[in-house]
């Protein structure tokens, strides 16, 4: 009888154990860091598929040029506000953080930053991000008021 119980327990564990193909999803409040990454449930989360230009760059405004990295963090903080953030992990990064697709109030946060012009679509970004980036560029939003740093040129060299 104990052998049958042990086999039943193993079968139950195998059935309920998370499968590697299932990406981890987590939901909580987010603390936005200065570099526009977020801390959610004690994990540092970087938005998948985007690149935020160096914070030393400035953006074109009429009164005082804001720090673009700082503007991205402010925009992200504004968007997450009082909403819970849900993230689907894409990859674990070498620095211990995770790359994830995240939503707040049912809106993709990476797409939001690109649409506002505070982030660029990365080389592995979905087509939607690339299209949103081109629209923001045409409208002169966010970082598109000055030449974007070397990332843009490195990316085109590989295509």
Cα Dmax for the chain: 80
Mean pLDDT of 93-101: 95
pLDDT for position 145: 73
Buried b (16+ CB within 10 A) or exposed e, 29-63: ebebeeebbbebeebbbbbbbbbbbebebebeeee
DSSP 126: -
H or E element that contains 137: helix 127-139
**Which residue has better confidence, 55 or 140?**
140
Residue 85 banded pLDDT, cuts 50, 70, 90: very high
Tokens matching residue 60:
């074109």
Give the residue among 137, 25, 147 at the shortest CA–CA distance from 87. Answer: 25
Dihedral of CA atoms 135, 46, 23, 154 in degrees, nearest 10, equals 60
Q: What are phi and psi of 96, to 5 degrees?
A: 95, -10
Helix/strand/coil for 158: coil
Tell me: pLDDT of 37 over 50: yes
Q: Is residue 49 a contact partner of residue 123, using CB atoms and an 8 Å limit? A: no
Element holding 25 (H helix, E strand): strand 25-28
Q: What single DSSP character describes residue 67?
A: B
Q: What is the CATH class of 20-157?
A: mainly beta
Q: Which two tokens stand for residue 122?
A: 């990365």
Helical (H) or strand (E) element with 121: strand 120-121
Q: Which of 15, 13, 55 is nearest to 33 (CA)?
A: 55
Q: If pLDDT is split at 50, 70 and 90, which confidence band does 68 have?
A: low
Question: Domain-by-domain residue ranges, the chain?
Answer: 20-157
Mean pLDDT over 134-150 rounds to 79
């Amino acid at each position: 009888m104990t052998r049958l119980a042990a086999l039943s327990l193993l079968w139950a564990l195998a059935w309920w154990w998370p499968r590697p193909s299932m990406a981890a999803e987590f939901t909580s409040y987010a603390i936005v860091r200065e570099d526009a990454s977020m801390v959610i449930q004690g994990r540092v989360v970087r938005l998948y598929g985007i690149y935020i230009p160096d914070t030393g760059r400035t953006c074109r405004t009429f009164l005082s040029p804001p720090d673009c990295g700082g503007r991205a963090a402010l925009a992200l903080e504004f968007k997450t506000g009082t909403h819970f953030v849900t993230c689907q992990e894409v990859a674990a990064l070498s620095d211990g953080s995770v790359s994830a697709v995240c939503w707040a109030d049912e809106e993709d946060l990476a797409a939001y930053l690109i649409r506002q012009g505070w982030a660029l679509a990365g080389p592995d970004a979905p087509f939607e991000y690339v299209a949103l980036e081109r629209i923001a560029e045409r409208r002169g939003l966010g970082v598109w008021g000055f030449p974007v740093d070397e990332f843009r040129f490195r990316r085109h060299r590989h295509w």
